Amino acid sequence: MTTHPGVIPSSPGPRKSFIGDKEGDTEDDIEQQKLQLKSTTKASSRPCFSFCHRVGQSLNAVLGRAENPLPENPTQCQRFKHALLCPPQGLLGAYITSVLSFALLFGVLVSLLGNAALPGSNIFALWVLFVACVTGGYFIQFLKLPPLLGENTALTVILIRAGLGLDPDALRKLSFAVVRLAFCPCLIETLVATIASHFLLGLPWIWGIMLGFVIAAVSPAVVVPCLLYLQDNGYGIDKGIPTLVIAAASIDDVLAITGFGVVLGIAFSEAGVLGSPRLEMPGTGPLLCLTVAFVAAFGWRKKRELQVLELISNSTAVLWLIFQPLLFGLIGAEVDVEKLNAKTIGYGIATLGIGLVFRMLVAFFAVYGTDLLKKEKLFVALAWLPKATVQAAIGSVALSTAREKNKTELESYGQIILEVAVLVILITAPIGSALVMLTGPRILKKTDPTSMSSENLKAIKSEANDEMLEQNATLQESTKM
């Protein structure tokens, strides 16, 4: 071997061997070499792995929920410590999920809209409104009140839920009572409010009738969630009380809004006799929404597709959790307390109070002829008190119409109607919902909803068996002939 001057010859030394580089290596030899290489690599990384494993075991022993179970009779302090363990569950997990969801929603809005979603913009104001409504609605539940903090989409969702929850048998049984409950209290309250507003507030008769229809409309956005809560917990379902009130509430709204439109058209002679084209009879929307959902649910029950009905009902319940905060949050944003006139507050409350007294009396007697007990009739009368949605929607229409037609002499009447509508919302919505939620569990009889559903299923099966027997009988007769 030749060497260059100044260069030290390197010793050959052992050459690194690679897997499968030897001649004659079989597949078994190659697999064995791979296993040896894996074991060597694992041995080299074993100290790091064992350290991480020990740290994880230590943290799990301190913060793990499974390693730190609650004692049999835990104290409040022990419960609080257990709630802080990992993984987060219960209320703590719900709080963390809610906070992260709100933050994620804000991040998505900023990433999509940029500066339009930053503080000071309308989008940010809506986000704050949504967060405040959800948070306030949660804390309101501790007072046993419905979380009504939260317009059109939300009302659609709750009416779909109501339509799916209507009991066809109870509705067929109470059909005449539904008509009486929908028409009689609304018309009587309109009449009483018209007379009271004419003598107390100085409104002309035509404007008094208009105010009467504004006051008389019940709010399905307040009544329906309360009754659905009671229905889900089995209160009053044995006699179909939730179905009775929910069905009558939609008809009551149609009657009040239609009457308001007719009277508005008479008050402004330039409008048509059937009401302002601006309204376009919006009361038919809630009724159609409720009717379509009821017909769909009736068809699914008729076809024995109860699983589909349950799936749709659960989906609408999830949608309601999302849209619920928007409903009364947006209605509350329309209530302008600064527009309340001190001169009309007292007379307005008196007009409202007189109308509500007659409304409750008529509602109590409207359900006579049914198998309801006196205390259950009293609950129906109390459930007929809450008002908000219709008043927020049409309360300012008369004033806006007077301004559009440049009739300044009529603006004062429209202002009175708006102020009384605001009073109706502020007084009846919270008090009415509170009365329904507080008296419902105490007055109504509780029945297990699962037993009722099983009874309905048995009834459906018996009907199917009867139909099969009839078909077999007709088939035998036809074969004999």
Structure confidence at residue 271 (pLDDT)? 40
User: Would you call 446 helix, strand, or coil by DSSP?
Assistant: strand
The reply to whether the predicted model has a pTM over 0.85 is: no
Q: How many angstroms separate the CA atoms of 350 and 272, rounded?
A: 33
Q: How many angstroms separate the CA atoms of 197 and 156, rounded?
A: 33
Closest C-alpha among 87, 53, 78, 140 to residue 429: 140
Place of tokens 């409207």: 366
Structure confidence at residue 193 (pLDDT)? 93
- Bridge partners of 86, per DSSP, are 64
For residue 425, give both structure tokens: 């919302």
CA 200 to each of CA 267, 348, 391, 418, 421: distance values in angstroms, whole numbers, following the listed order: 20, 8, 20, 16, 16
For residue 180, give both structure tokens: 């009486």
Q: How many angstroms separate the CA atoms of 321 and 134, rounded?
A: 9
14 burial via Cβ count (<10 Å: 0-12, 13-18, 19+): exposed
441 contacts 375 by C-beta, under 8 angstroms: no
* Start-to-end C-alpha separation, the chain: 119
Q: How many angstroms separate the CA atoms of 448 and 425, rounded?
A: 34
Q: Does domain 150-269+280-460 have CATH number 1.10.760.10?
A: no
Run means of pLDDT, 10 residues per run, the chain, 481 residues: 48 48 58 61 55 58 59 72 65 73 84 82 77 65 48 54 57 77 91 93 91 88 82 85 83 79 74 41 55 69 68 67 58 59 84 93 89 90 86 77 82 86 86 89 80 48 46 47 49
Place of tokens 């048998």: 169
Compute the CA torsion angle 186, 187, 189, 195 (nearest 10 deg).
160
Structure confidence at residue 18 (pLDDT)? 47
Closest C-alpha among 322, 323, 261, 316 to residue 289: 316
DSSP state of 11: P
Q: How many angstroms separate the CA atoms of 158 and 160, rounded?
A: 5
Domain definitions of the chain by residue range: 88-144, 150-269+280-460
Structure confidence at residue 328 (pLDDT)? 55
Structure confidence at residue 469 (pLDDT)? 47
